[in-house]
Chains A and B, each alone.
Chain A
Amino acid sequence: MRVKSGHIISRAFALAVLVLAVAVPLITLDEALADGQGSGDTTLTVESLVHATVAGDTILEIRASISPARATVGDRLLLTLTVARDYDGAVAFPRVAGEIAPFEVLDVIIHATDEHVGGVIERRQYVLAAFETGDLRLSPLAFHYVSPEGDTTTVSTDTLVVIIENTIPPEELEQGPTPKDIKPPLELKRRIWPAIVIAALVAAVLVGLFYLRRWFRSRSKVNCESEIEPEVRREAAHIAALARLAELEHEDLIGQGELPRFYLVLTDLLRRYILDRFSVDAVDMTTMELASAMCGADLAEGDVEWMLDLLTYADLSKFARHMPTSERAHGDLVAVRVFVERTRFRGLSDLGPSDLGSSGVGGEE
Chain B
Amino acid sequence: MYADIKAIGERIERESEFLVTLVSEIDKVIVGQSYMVERLLIGLLADGHVLIEGVPGLAKTLAVRTLSRAIDTKFQRIQFTPDLLPADLIGTMVYTAKTGEFTTKKGPIFSNLILADEINRAPAKVQSALLEAMQERQVTIGSRTFPLDDPFLVLATQNPIEQEGTYPLPEAQVDRFMLKLRVGYPSRDEELEIMERMSKGKEPVASPVVSPETILKARDLVREIYVDDKIKQYILDIVFATRGPSEHGPDLGDLIAYGASPRASIYLIAAARAHAFLERRAYVTPEDIKAIAMDVLRHRVIITYEAEAEELTSEDIVQRILDNIEVP
The answer to whether A289 has its CB under 8 Å from any CB of chain B is yes
Given contact pairs A288-B287, A319-B283, A323-B2, A283 touches B226 in the complex (Cβ within 8 A): no
The distance from the CB of A272 to the nearest CB of chain B, in whole angstroms, is 10
- Total interface residues on B, CB under 8 Å, equals 20
Within B1-18, which residues are at the interface with A (CB < 8 Å)? 1-2, 5
Q: What is the total of A-B residue contacts with beta carbons within 8 Å?
A: 47
Count class of interface residues, chain A:
10 to 19
The answer to whether B286 has its CB under 8 Å from any CB of chain A is yes
Contact B286 A286 (CB under 8 A): yes
The answer to whether A320 has its CB under 8 Å from any CB of chain B is yes
Q: How far is the CA of A43 from the CA of B168 in the complex (A)?
A: 75
Q: How far is the CA of A284 from the CA of B323 in the complex (A)?
A: 6
Within B231-264, which residues are at the interface with A (CB < 8 Å)? 231
Inter-chain contacts of A319 with B (CB < 8 A): 226, 228, 230-231, 283-286, 328
Q: How far is the CA of A322 from the CA of B226 in the complex (A)?
A: 12
Interface of B is mostly: mixed
User: Which listed residue, B282, B285, B324, touches A284 by the CB 8 Å rule?
Assistant: B324
The answer to whether B62 has its CB under 8 Å from any CB of chain A is no
The distance from the CB of A317 to the nearest CB of chain B, in whole angstroms, is 9
Contact digits for B279-317, partner A, Cβ 8 Å, 1 yes 0 no: 000111111001000000000000000000000000000
Contact A281 B287 (CB under 8 A): no
The answer to whether A285 has its CB under 8 Å from any CB of chain B is yes
The answer to whether A321 has its CB under 8 Å from any CB of chain B is yes
The answer to whether A82 has its CB under 8 Å from any CB of chain B is no
Contact A320 B287 (CB under 8 A): no
Contact B226 A284 (CB under 8 A): no
Contact A285 B228 (CB under 8 A): no
Inter-chain contacts of A233 with B (CB < 8 A): none
Q: How far is the CA of A283 from the CA of B234 in the complex (A)?
A: 13
User: Which listed residue, A281, A315, A323, touches B323 by the CB 8 Å rule?
Assistant: A281
Contact B228 A321 (CB under 8 A): yes
The distance from the CB of A226 to the nearest CB of chain B, in whole angstroms, is 17
8 A/B residue pairs, CB under 8 Å, sorted by A: A285-B327, A288-B287, A315-B285, A318-B230, A319-B284, A320-B5, A321-B228, A323-B2
> Top 5 A-B pairs ranked by shortest CB distance?
A320-B283, A321-B1, A286-B286, A286-B287, A319-B228
Beyond A285-B327, A318-B228, A319-B226, list 9 extra A-B contacts (CB 8 Å): A315-B285, A318-B230, A318-B328, A319-B285, A320-B2, A320-B228, A320-B282, A321-B226, A323-B2
